[in-house]
Amino acid sequence: MNRKALIQEIKAKSSYLCTGLDTQIEKLPAHLSSDGNGLLEFNKAIIENTIPYSVAYKVNTAFYEQYGRKGWEWMEETLSYLPTNTLRIADAKRGDIGNTSTMYAKAFFEAMDFDAITVSPYMGEDSIRPFLEFENKWVICLALTSNAGHSDFQLTEENGKRLYEKVIETVCKWGSEEQLMFVVGATRAEKVAEIRRIIPNHFLLVPGVGAQGGSLQDISAAGLNADAGLLVNASRSILYASNGEDFAEAAAREAQLLASEMKTYL
């Protein structure tokens, strides 16, 4: 999915919602089986009921990898449920020496046909470059995250510039706004305006709205640009809006609520 198609989907749905599929078997509603069949039934129902409001879906691969070979199969099956007019993100946070990154890129972009993958920039250009070689695929680079330990490295300052700012400026030299996004946590809304001055046109993937307490209003005010430029992710607040038989309908209501608010900001 290229940038033009993504923007068209945002305009068509008046939404920049990304739904996270961080599904855990132990959190499935009681009426579903506590196994892969239950997980897939749950994911399919969530997707079918949130499609009208979601322009992207983010599959956190760790939630599937934990189950070994079967988990990878469930992830691929889940991916097959996603329509091609939504951006399908592998939240895998990969990044390694060049030939290893090439294999990761082939796994997620060719074998599984994800549209995008999250990457860690710590090992430098040769760890990210292989992902950028794929046409109509997105590389989503970690920049300023919302976890408690973000300050251990990301806020380190040298010559008046913080590390996350250097990461953004440097990575932008390796690719274009047609293929690069950056992860900025929703709980860092006060920094989004500063980041926008560095990258006014790039898309930002913003996790942390909903269960993690990030403010959609604050993120939107600071981060929206002419093309929207934001993909705001919500996972638990949508997935587990209800633990009853109405879980899919409740997920749809939560997604619709977020999308309706987004529409007022566009």
Cβ contact 117:94 at 8 Å = yes
Distance of alpha carbon 118 from alpha carbon 115, whole angstroms: 11
Helix axes 98-105, 125-132, angle to 10 degrees: 30
Cα 93 off chain centre by: 11
Write down the pTM of the prediction: 0.96
Pair of tokens at residue 8: 């068209």
Look at residue 212 and tell me whether its pLDDT is greater than 80.
no
166 is catalytic: no
Is it the case that residue 211 has pLDDT exceeding 80? no
Count the neighbouring beta carbons within 10 Å of the beta carbon of residue 226: 8
- Other C-beta atoms lying within 10 Å of the C-beta of residue 26: 5
Tokens of 246: 């109405």
pLDDT in tens, 131-178: 999 999 999 999 998 788 888 888 898 888 999 999 999 999 999 999
Going through 123-263 in order, the beta strands assigned E by DSSP cover 138-144, 157-158, 161-162, 180-184, 203-206, 230-234
pLDDT tens digits, one per residue of 55-97: 999 999 999 999 999 999 999 999 999 999 999 999 999 999 9
Query: DSSP assignment, residue 80?
Result: H
Where does 26-148 have alpha helices with state H? 36-50, 62-65, 69-81, 98-105, 125-132
pLDDT of residue 173: 97
Query: Which residue in 4, 13, 27, 93 is the catalytic one?
Result: 93
- CATH number at 3-265: 3.20.20.70
Q: What are the residue ranges spanned by the domains of the chain?
A: 3-265
Q: Which pLDDT tens digit goes with each residue over 86-116?
A: 999 999 999 999 899 999 999 999 999 999 9
The average pLDDT across 16-36 equals 97
Give the helix/strand (H/E) hosting 58: strand 54-60
Contact between 197 and 225 (Cβ < 8 Å): no
Say if residue 210's pLDDT is above 80: no
Question: What is the residue-averaged pLDDT of the chain?
Answer: 95
Residue of 207 and 188 predicted with greater confidence: 207
- Predicted pLDDT of residue 153: 85
Mean pLDDT of 244-264: 98
- Cβ–Cβ < 8 Å for 74, 36: yes
Contact status, residue 74 vs residue 39, Cβ threshold 8 Å? yes
